[in-house]
Each structure stands twice: as structure tokens, then as C-alpha cells.
């Protein structure tokens, strides 16, 4: 079974601004590859972090240097006048899969709510560019966006929660789950089940999280539920993040695991890893 991590960060300088990340001045691609090889992770999708201005080029270097192992979810500066024009060709650069934004604070949260980003949804739908969002407080609004733009593939990050942007654990970190599950009626909305251990106060296998994972699976199905780690936030090993899903969730059958652990995210974001390896 192939294992593809839906979200990691790599960086070469600067301390992470989000204190939930490992507070180190670099986590390089080579370091990530060594840990991936040790854990049995075949590939990962890099989300370049904002605290390192060189992280975007670092991500594309990873795509070039490790064919088939890395792809990128990037971001356009939404205030820039030329960003609208750049959407159509966004995936032309080898390895680029789509766009990713954090909408937990203003102005992004307000832009989602007040229609400022309506141009983005329309342009991404027209160009077939998937968008991934960390947007706990905006789930209801994004449901309306999904309804208006049925051809736009939206992905909700980190089980719909705040990821490392909250210190709440277990049930207190999952109060948004009803709003997340309500999005399942939109076939163009998927969920990254990334960073689940980080929401738990417990030790491996983090049983408090299993109920929420089961609810997401029941609502979205294995074709719209993607495993991943956000490994630089995790208090456990990459291997434990894998086995939490592959060995500790008995309601997942082998076909479900193949989809959730790799195939579904590659299909949803259009990543042909074989094509990358052949170049």
C-alpha cells in the first residue's frame, strides 16, 4: 500500500511563527526524506510555510530532486492585482497542485464571509484549480461557496479544526464537527484528516480521536477523506501517525485504507506521481 502524506512543511531558515511546530530554524527536505524512509511514507505534499521566504523554491527543489515523492500546494497574494490573471496557469509549473490558505483570522476570515474572494472561487473553478483551506469559523460560508461553484474542489484542512492554532484537546477541540459533517452533502468538498494526534491529550493510539474520524468517514467516505500528518506539529512518530489509521481503526477495510492513505488525495488534487517519476 502506498502512503502519501497530504500535508507537510519544510523550511530552511527562521523559527516557525506557529509555536505548535517544532521550534527549529530548519527542517530540510533531506531530513524529511530520511524520516519518511524510516516510517514508510512514499510521498508527501509540501505546503510552503510563510515564516521562510525561501520555502517556495525549496519545495520546488524537492519536486525536482526527488521525482514522484513531492508535490506542492501554493498560494497567491490575494491583494496583488495580477493574481487573478495567474490562476489560469497556476498548475503549469511541474509539481504544483493547487492553492492553500489559512482563514482563521482577519482579513482572510472576513474576505471569505463578505464575498471579497468570490473572484477566487470563480477563477479556480474555471481553471480547475483545487483549493485547500484551514477555516474552522467559515465552514457554513464555504458550504454556500461549494453550492454556487459545483466544479470547484474544496478541501477542509485538519479535520475542520484549528490544527496547531489551538491548545484545546479531545472533545473541546472538536466542537466544530457538526458544521464539518454538514459539508458532506456537497460532493465537491473533501476533508484532510491531517494532524489528528495533535488534537488528543492521550498517548498513542489517541482513542479520543477515533470517534471523530469515524464520523468523518461515515459522512464523506474514503474518496473524500485524506490521511496526513503536518509532521512538524506531531508529538508522535510518523510511523505512529500511519498505524493509527492502518491498524487502530478496525472499521476501515483494505480498499478504504488504500484510498485514505494515498489514492484519494492524488485523485482529488490531480497528482500523477508516475508521471513525475518518469521525467
Q: Can you read off the three cell numbers belonging to residue 261?
A: 492513505
pLDDT band at 275 (very low <50, low <70, confident <90, very high): confident
Residues sharing a CB contact under 8 Å with residue 174, sequence separation 6 or more, in sequence order? 159, 161, 199, 212
What pLDDT is recorded for position 9?
98
Tens of pLDDT, residue by residue over 7-18, are 999 999 999 999
Kindly list the structural domains of the chain, giving each domain's residue range(s) and its CATH number in brackets, ordered by start: 4-278 (3.20.20.140)
Whether 165 has a pLDDT exceeding 60, the answer reads yes
| Rounded mean pLDDT, 122-135 | 98
pLDDT band at 274 (very low <50, low <70, confident <90, very high): confident
Whether 272 has a pLDDT exceeding 60, the answer reads yes
**Whole-prediction pTM value?**
0.96
Task: Identify whether the C-beta of residue 90 lies closer than 8 Å to the C-beta of residue 99.
Answer: yes
Whether 279 has a pLDDT exceeding 50, the answer reads no
**Cα–Cα distance, 248 to 116 (Å, whole number):** 43
Whole-angstrom distance between the N-terminal and C-terminal Cα of the chain?
A: 23
What pLDDT is recorded for position 278?
40
C-alpha separations of 82 from 76, 114, 126, 130, 248 in Å = 10, 21, 17, 19, 47
| Rounded mean pLDDT, 76-91 | 94
| Rounded mean pLDDT, 85-91 | 95
Amino acid at each position: 500500500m502506498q502512503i502519501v502524506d497530504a500535508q507537510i512543511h519544510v523550511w530552511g531558515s527562521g523559527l516557525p511563527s506557529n509555536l505548535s511546530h517544532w521550534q527549529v530554524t530548519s527542517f530540510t527536505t533531506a531530513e524529511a526524506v530520511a524520516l519518511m524512509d524510516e516510517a514508510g511514507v512514499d510521498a508527501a505534499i509540501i505546503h510552503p510555510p510563510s515564516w521562510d521566504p525561501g520555502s517556495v523554491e525549496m519545495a520546488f527543489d524537492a519536486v525536482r530532486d526527488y521525482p514522484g515523492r513531492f508535490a506542492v500546494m501554493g498560494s497567491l497574494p490575494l491583494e496583488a492585482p495580477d493574481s487573478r490573471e495567474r490562476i489560469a496557469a497556476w498548475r503549469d509549473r511541474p509539481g504544483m497542485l493547487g492553492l492553500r490558505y489559512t482563514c482563521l483570522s482577519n482579513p482572510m476570515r472576513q474576505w471569505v464571509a463578505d464575498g471579497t474572494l468570490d473572484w477566487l472561487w470563480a477563477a479556480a473553478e474555471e481553471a480547475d484549480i483545487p483549493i485547500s483551506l484551514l477555516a474552522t469559523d467559515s465552514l457554513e460560508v464555504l458550504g454556500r461557496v461549494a453550492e454556487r461553484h459545483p466544479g470547484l474542489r474544496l478541501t477542509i484542512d485538519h479535520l475542520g479544526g484549528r490544527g496547531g492554532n489551538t491548545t484545546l484537546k479531545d472533545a473541546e477541540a472538536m466542537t466544530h464537527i457538526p458544521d464539518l459533517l454538514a459539508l458532506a452533502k456537497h460532493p465537491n468538498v473533501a476533508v484532510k484528516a491531517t494532524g489528528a494526534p495533535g488534537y488528543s491529550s492521550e498517548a498513542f493510539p489517541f482513542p479520543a480521536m477515533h470517534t471523530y474520524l469515524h464520523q468523518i468517514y461515515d459522512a464523506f467516505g474514503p474518496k473524500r477523506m485524506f490521511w496526513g500528518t503536518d509532521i512538524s506539529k506531531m508529538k508522535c512518530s510518523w510511523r505512529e501517525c500511519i498505524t493509527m489509521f492502518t491498524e487502530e481503526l478496525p472499521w476501515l477495510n483494505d480498499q478504504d485504507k488504500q484510498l485514505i492513505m494515498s489514492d484519494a488525495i492524488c485523485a482529488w488534487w490531480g497528482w500523477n506521481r508516475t508521471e513525475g517519476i518518469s521525467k
